[in-house]
Amino acid sequence: MQNLDFHSIEKYLSSNFIGYEGPSEFTKFSTGQSNPTYLINAKSGNYVLRSKPPGILLKSAHAVEREYFVIKALQSSNIPLPIPFILCENENVAGSIFFVMSFVEGRNYSDPKLTSLTNEERSKLYDHMNQVLSLIHNIDIYKSGLEGFGKPGNYFERQVSRWTKQYQSSEIETISEMNQLIKWLEVNTPLDDGRVSLVHGDYRIDNFIIDNNQPIIKAVLDWELSTIGHPLADLSYQCMQWRMPEGKVGRGLAGINRKKLGIPSEKEYLELYCQRTGIDEIRNWSFYLAFSCFRFAAILQGVLKRSIEGNASNPEEAKKLGKMVPELSKMAIKIIEND
């Protein structure tokens, strides 16, 4: 896999980032499948660099510049975020577009069971996840300067069309359940209800930095898929974990005694979100869940395709995640048939 030109990056940062001082060491994080992410250990402190991956990319994918823009726009909000310092859109500098943000000390989890926490800590952290998601969806997009961050019209119609194209561009073999799911989503997309908010796009536990001393989110990361859209896309995407199987790949909560662990049920989590956002009820919930399964499957299909082409951030992990594509489509079909 092609590497960035770190020598050129250090020269660029030293000339354009006020307060930055080398020499620096660049260490790649093993986590993250979309955009290569590095810890910069510089004389002036620690920072994080996010870049686009090498190779031919799918249209509108890996938008680190979009991520930088939204984090910068939300700095005055109550949403816990890193500080964005500098964006370089000139690919000639280092071989790829990149940005640098603050390094946030804390814990990072991938398993929603959060086995290292106490029941009380788990309950508080899930409550804070819910609170932060509500804050994101309650952001005034006009006051934040984000009104042009998405397109008008039925968000889910656009998203089904977009991710169908993305999936088909990355398709390696025919998965009948995915094709069945695409047809169902196209026919069963709800009418536009007019609800519009900032959407994170990848709101899940491994995209949070958790405070070292208390169960609260210190920073929400990975905003590359953020847009102006429908808030239930984020909510259903996070709630997939209640339906997904337990294990290293699925990392879900299905079949787990959640009450025993202090984790709210899906129903309780939805009710708490509705209270915080002023929603009376959620209709068509099975559609939103099925859509989120489809979208996640399409994302993972792209990750798998990049691993085959040699452009994945973590090739072995990418292949494992790619195995989830048929399972997610089967899960979506089950939701459609049973919910």
Cα dihedral 40, 41, 44, 45 sign: positive
pLDDT recorded at residue 100: 97
pLDDT single digits (tens) 205-223: 999 999 999 999 999 999 9
Cα dihedral 115, 325, 235, 317 sign: positive
Phi, psi of 251 (to 5 degrees): 50, 50
Percent of the chain with pLDDT over 90: 76
- Quote the pTM value: 0.91
Percent of the chain with pLDDT over 70: 93
Say if residue 252's pLDDT is above 70.
yes
What is the Cα–Cα distance from 237 to 268, expressed in whole angstroms? Answer: 16
Residue 1 banded pLDDT, cuts 50, 70, 90: very low
pLDDT recorded at residue 320: 76
- Please, what is the end-to-end C-alpha distance for the chain in angstroms? 43
pLDDT single digits (tens) 115-132: 999 999 999 999 999 999
Q: H/E/C letters for each residue in 255-269?
A: CCCHHHHCCCCHHHH
Summarize the confidence of residues 180-204 as an average pLDDT: 95
